[in-house]
Amino acid sequence: METIQSFTDQWTNPSEVTTVLMVIGGDIVQKALAQSAGTWFSPVCFSFGWVMYAFVALVNVVGDGRLLPRPDYPAKVFNLKSGYVRENQHWVIGRLVRDSEATMSREYPLHNEGIRICVYEAEKNNNKASYTLGVTHYISLGVMICQLLIAAVPLILDKEWGILLITAVGTILALWHGALPQWVAEKMPNRQHASTIYALTAGNGHKDIMVIKGKGNCLNLEELATPDTPRNGGPWEKFWKPLSKPSVDHEGLVRFRKTGTMLRQTTEFWGQPRGFWVTKVTTIVQSVLWLVLLVCVSAIRTNTWFLMAVGGLGMFQNAILAAVERKPSEWNLPLRLNDVIVTKKVMDGLMDLEVSHGCGEALLQEFFPGKLTQDEKNWWYHGDRKAYDDRRNKDKLARGPPRSRRAQFEERYNHQSPSDGSASSPPPSPTRTGGQDPGQPNEKR
pLDDT tens across 173-220, in order? 999 999 999 999 999 888 888 899 999 999 898 999 999 999 989 999
Average pLDDT estimate for 251-267: 68
Note whether 216 and 364 are same-domain residues: no
Domain final residue pick, 311, 326, 349: 349
- 382 or 300: which leads in pLDDT: 382
Average pLDDT over residues 4-33: 71
> d(Cα 257, Cα 262) in Å, to the nearest integer?
6
Residue pair 32/44 in contact by the 8 Å Cβ criterion: yes
> Is 294 in the same domain as 147?
yes
Which helix H or strand E contains 143, and what residues bound it?
A: helix 135-158
At a CB cut-off of 8 Å and minimum separation 6, what does 400 contact? 343, 344, 348, 431, 432, 433, 434, 435
Q: Are residue 291 and residue 368 in the same domain, yes or no?
A: no
Residue pair 244/236 in contact (Cβ under 8 Å)? The answer is yes
Q: Are strands 268-269 and 264-266 parallel, antiparallel or unpaired?
A: unpaired
Q: Does residue 95 sit in the same domain as residue 151?
A: yes
214 inside domain: yes
Q: What is the pLDDT of residue 192?
A: 86
How many Cα neighbours within 13 Å face the side chain of 156? 7
- Considering 7-11, 275-279, 440-444, the range whose residues carry the highest mean pLDDT is 275-279
pTM, to two decimals: 0.84
Among 301, 333, 349, identify where a domain stops: 349
**CA nearest to 350, candidates 361, 365, 337:** 361
For Cα atoms 115, 120, 126, give the angle at the middle one, nearest 5 degrees: 145
User: What confidence score (pLDDT) does residue 262 get?
Assistant: 64
Q: Is residue 202 assigned to a domain?
A: yes
Whether residues 197 and 320 share a domain: the answer is: yes
Question: Is residue 217 located within the same domain as residue 300?
Answer: yes
Report d(CA 135, CA 137) in Å as an integer: 5
What domain range includes position 335? 11-228+267-349
Name 337's bridge partners: 120
Report d(CA 22, CA 307) in Å as an integer. 11
Highest mean predicted confidence (pLDDT) among 278-282, 298-302, 405-409: 278-282
**193 shares a domain with 68:** yes
Q: pLDDT at position 201, please?
A: 95
Is residue 306 domain-shared with residue 292, that is, in the same domain? yes
How large is the average pLDDT for residues 142-152? 97
The answer on 196 and 122 residing in a single domain is yes
CA distances from 417 to 7, 142, 388 (A): 77, 56, 18
- Do 131 and 211 sit in the same domain of this protein? yes
Residue at 196 is within a domain: yes
Please give the Cα distance from 433 to 397 (Å, whole number). Answer: 8
Residue 240 covered by a domain: no
Q: Assess whether 222 and 356 both reside in one domain.
A: no
Q: How many domains does the chain have?
A: 2
Count of other CB atoms within 10 angstroms of residue 59: 11
Mean pLDDT, range 108-127, rounded to an integer: 90
Residue 16 included in any domain: yes
Q: Is residue 419 part of a domain?
A: no
Q: Do 187 and 281 fall within a single domain?
A: yes
Average pLDDT of the residues in 28-41? 93
